[in-house]
Chains A and B, each alone.
Chain A
């Protein structure tokens, strides 16, 4: 059933967020540390499991795939709720810092990529 896929997704997210909060508390940080990343790993592991008792069938999959397909529309809504006005009211310092950080970080991507791929 479709709802099994949605419920599986919800289960993974809640477990991930819980573990991320716990991890944050353990290292003494007031933030969730990688909760969504952990949830993703959990979903990947469960999706790749094949046992006689447990198998994700096509209809269950469609429950997950629907939310995966809703990703871009959700990102559009996310863009529409950003505090763009405040960002641009931060003045030249905020703009300078933001622009420099983004450009320099972009330039570092091929560098790190090469670092990982040299013989």
Chain B
């Protein structure tokens, strides 16, 4: 009876449960950060890693596609961590943005988006070739997945790729997004990711909004709006280039 009451209290108030969940994970992460790493690894980086780990367990247990959010008491985590609230919070971070920085880095930001899409696409396409894919549609779809996990399926659907290849392109994009979340805080000092301009380049090159959002949160929250600004254009540019020009180029090169 007690168990049922707890269960229904948590699952009937799912977003509230999510607030508590995130608070507990954050508190635990900062405790680990302070006591076990001497503050060397940022609390948010640990929190994001714990989140990803729980997402793996959630996916394993529930066999769903929303990580921990497929477990009924944690459905609120899926809402709180969904695109709607994520984007709302990203827009809010822009409140402290300095227009001067944006203007200075506007051009290089735009260049980095196009460069980023093409670079990711080429790397994805080469890996697809290495693993034995030899038709233009599959190579293009996997290359598109290396841009983001949205560009992959959009491109694959447009080119009528097989569902297996589309699933693979999503997996490539997911791996990219997860790696960007985890690795960014550690690599940031080596690539001078410490100012508005390099954050805009970073957002444009990586392009995965979740990856960039998570990676910058754990590096320096003040850089978030600059990286997010360019990253939010990336998926659109990818969906524009991959099924059209990039597919035509791959098709010509293959034949």
A residues neighboring B (CB under 8 Å): 9-10, 12-13, 16-17, 20, 23-24, 27-37, 39-41, 43-44, 47-48, 61, 64-68, 70-102, 104-110, 112-113, 115-117
Q: Once bound together, how far apart are the Cα atoms of A36 and B94, in whole Å?
A: 10
| Segment at the interface with A among B32-40, B176-184, B246-254 | B176-184
A97 touches B123 (CB 8 A): yes
Contacts of B95 in A (CB 8 A): 43-44, 47, 61, 64-65, 68
Interface residues of B in 40-81 (CB under 8 A from A): 44, 47-56, 58-60, 65-69, 74, 77-78, 80-81
The 10 A-B residue pairs whose C-beta atoms are closest, nearest first, are: A90-B171, A85-B59, A98-B175, A79-B51, A33-B236, A77-B81, A87-B174, A40-B94, A78-B81, A67-B92
> Shortest CB–CB separation between residue B250 and chain A, in angstroms?
15
B159 within 8 A of A: no
B123 touches A101 (CB 8 A): yes
B51 touches A78 (CB 8 A): yes
From B97, B154, B191, contact of A31 by CB (8 A): B154
> Shortest CB–CB separation between residue B102 and chain A, in angstroms?
7
A74 touches B85 (CB 8 A): yes
The residue on A at minimum CB distance from B171 is A90
Contacts of A20 in B (CB 8 A): 236
Q: With A97-B146, A98-B174, A104-B119 given, name 20 new contacts (CB 8 A).
A: A39-B94, A40-B91, A43-B95, A44-B95, A75-B48, A76-B26, A76-B81, A77-B78, A77-B81, A77-B85, A78-B81, A78-B214, A80-B77, A81-B68, A88-B175, A93-B168, A94-B175, A97-B128, A100-B127, A106-B191
A37 touches B230 (CB 8 A): yes
Q: Which one of A64, A75, A116 has the greatest number of beta carbons of chain B within 10 Å? A: A75
Contacts of A79 in B (CB 8 A): 47-52, 55, 81, 181, 214
Q: Once bound together, how far apart are the Cα atoms of A115 and B55, in whole Å?
A: 39
Contacts of A89 in B (CB 8 A): 171
B124 touches A97 (CB 8 A): yes
Contacts of A47 in B (CB 8 A): 95
From B51, B127, B172, B230, contact of A80 by CB (8 A): B51
Contacts of B10 in A (CB 8 A): none
B131 touches A93 (CB 8 A): yes
B235 within 8 A of A: yes
B136 within 8 A of A: no
B81 touches A86 (CB 8 A): no
Q: Once bound together, how far apart are the Cα atoms of A66 and B82, in whole Å?
A: 18
